[in-house]
Structure 1
């Protein structure tokens, strides 16, 4: 599908290399090695929504730590459990190699912070299996089809979606050049469709191109599908699993997120991420609480 892209910069470095200081995502996921699988990090408040640090951004920090720990370069599957609420500021990451095989390796990573009493608190724990996307077979037999999304230039910038659910003045939105399909903006005008579906384009505002590491963010960086049900507010993630299927081609990514079973105060949210070559490059599923008032 032909589309217009926001201004593009140089391709981003892989997670195993030094972060590209020209791009905010890389600066804000940068790590300082301590040795023995430990790293210092600083969680940026620039990737927050409604007062909470985005879960996909936190996964990317953990993903970079594992890319520096495991013998394989790319996350294939990564599951994060969010154990306590992180805050912008210093953090420590601890990684463990669980298994290293010829084509896959598996490890865990924990993100910890010090609370107001000086005690170390684990915020997020992730288990992931890494491999080499460039070594995969070129055989494709998928029956999945790319979602219909209006061309990029015809979609609505997230900070321009005015109304009761307006996304202006939200830090993460300022870092993205993402856009919503016009069919997915009714909730922002007080007219949610009730389908629990959100579709649009994902892109970085500074032109950073996508790689395997950034795909850990993408599935959790669109407005929650619950907004389309008319329930707008902070939607805390309990668990988030991402499957990375291929290295994305340059250009904005089409993203579809949907929920089918909001019940008991929780909902699942499934995401598909498609690149400019119409390839399904990532899938994710999360369990989240139904929206609640913004964090203080």
Structure 2
């Protein structure tokens, strides 16, 4: 049965006669600025690998580690996702995915998959950090308050319920904090509950922390590696992005995703390029 949620429709696939090739439609309503949002592309590649690795009988349908290289801007329209199985193991399996539009390769992914349900009865994790402290969602700043021109240019913002910590939005009125950190709450507007594919999307959802440092322009991603730790509990996700190094026109950005049960369920690090007002 076809899912009715917007995110699942946006990352849906049709398998071609070639069993390793999938057809997809990159939807304009998941665009941020001029291109399709990177988190959507990661989830699309993740879904193709989940289907193909899981079809081998391994049960390895959950992303554990996903590294994506963004090679060119993905545009609304048809695309293909080809997978290549690298290894079938007892506890994890690995593969690659290639997203293309015409003769242009857009994204290349290398990933390891497993069964996160195996961790449901595991010993409690030893976590040496805590969920970000911030007001509850109803006291945070929703993206519905963004300027109309931004909402028009980035229809993705109308697909999600993203609420930023008021202490992290000074950059929007010309008063960045200079701390290099942004945090907030995330859920889908159609009440779709979080799962591993949503976590691949969530790690790239907050505004770039370069804005909080007073660096204008967007920060397109060059490479993004995500580690999925646990199956998330239903409800809001709590997000935190931060940086420890800005060097000329490059910045690393670390993300943490905490679920409604207060568990760290995903982490990521990405390398971005700074100073691109058109991206």
Give the structure-1-normalised TM-score.
Answer: 0.88
> 1:188 corresponds to which residue?
172
**What is the aligned residue count?**
270
Higher helix share: 2
Q: Residue by residue, what CA displacement relative to the aligned partner does 1:17-68 show, whole Å, maximum 9, x if unpaired?
A: x651x21100010000013211000111222222222111110000000001
2:257 maps to 1:240: no
Q: Where in structure 1 are there 5+ consecutive unaligned residues?
A: 1-17, 115-119
Superposed displacement of residue 162, structure 1: 5.3
Q: Matched residues in 1 for 2:69 and 2:107: separation?
A: 6
Kept after mapping to 2: 8 A contact 1:149/1:254: no
2:101 maps to 1:113: yes
Q: Matched residues in 2 for 1:260 and 1:242: separation?
A: 18
Q: Choose from 138, 146, 149 the match for 2:123.
A: 138
Q: Residue by residue, what CA displacement relative to the aligned partner does 1:267-286 show, whole Å, maximum 9, x if unpaired?
A: 00000000000000000110
Kept after mapping to 2: 8 A contact 1:193/1:228: yes
Kept after mapping to 2: 8 A contact 1:59/1:80: yes
Q: Matched residues in 2 for 1:167 and 1:183: separation?
A: 21
Superposed displacement of residue 141, structure 1: 1.5
Q: Choose from 70, 82, 99 the match for 1:82.
A: 70
Kept after mapping to 1: 8 A contact 2:240/2:255: yes
> 1:269 corresponds to which residue?
253
Q: Give the match's secondary structure for 1:68.
A: helix
Kept after mapping to 2: 8 A contact 1:262/1:290: no
The structure showing larger relative contact order (alpha-carbon pairs under 8 Å, at least 6 residues apart) is 1
Q: Choose from 67, 72, 80 the match for 2:50.
A: 67
> 2:57 corresponds to which residue?
none
Q: Matched residues in 2 for 1:107 and 1:39: separation?
A: 15
2:8 maps to 1:26: yes
Q: Matched residues in 2 for 1:53 and 1:74: separation?
A: 23
Superposed displacement of residue 150, structure 1: 1.0
2:18 maps to 1:55: no
Q: RMSD of aligned C-alpha atoms?
A: 1.5
Q: Choose from 22, 36, 39 the match for 1:39.
A: 22
Give the structure-2-normalised TM-score.
Answer: 0.93
Q: Matched residues in 2 for 1:60 and 1:213: separation?
A: 5
Q: Where in structure 2 are there 5+ consecutive unaligned residues?
A: 55-59
Q: Matched residues in 1 for 2:110 and 2:2: separation?
A: 22
Kept after mapping to 2: 8 A contact 1:195/1:229: yes
Superposed displacement of residue 97, structure 1: 0.6
> 1:3 corresponds to which residue?
none
Q: Choose from 132, 155, 159 the match for 2:144.
A: 159
Q: Matched residues in 2 for 1:28 and 1:86: separation?
A: 14
Comparing 100-109 with 39-48, greater Cα deviation is found at: 39-48
